[in-house]
Amino acid sequence: MSLEEIESILHDNPTTEKVRDMLNAQLAVAESTINEAQRRRERIVTRLYSLEMDEASSSHEISLKSVNMFTVAAVRETMPKVEHISQRWNEIFTMIAE
């Protein structure tokens, strides 16, 4: 609570209902802050995982070769967890088959 709200409680002797409303408002703000922080945490975890995967893949040797032109399907997406990759592949194969 802000100092002004505390001062109001001390001097105005508000009703229980008014104090309850003030506390509910504070609770709503706190919950919103927590939800926002959790979403931010998930973005950070996903980015860290992505960086780790980039570092792991950079240890592979890469060779470039010439090939005849052909049609390819490409999807670029950041997956939050490696467990989601097989499900995504199934979706991609289904789209290609259609």
- If phi over 0 gives left and psi between -120 and 50 gives alpha, with beta otherwise, what is residue 39? alpha
Amino acid (one-letter) located at 9: I
Return d(Cα 54, Cα 48) in angstroms, integer: 10
The pLDDT, as a whole number, for residue 74 is: 76
Which residue range(s) make up the domain with 40?
Answer: 3-97
Return d(Cα 78, Cα 17) in angstroms, integer: 48
Residue 8: CB atoms within 10 A of its CB come to 16
DSSP letter (8 states) at residue 62: -
pTM as predicted = 0.47
Give the chain's domain count.
Answer: 1
**Mind listing the pLDDT tens digit for each residue in 26-46?**
999 999 999 999 999 999 999
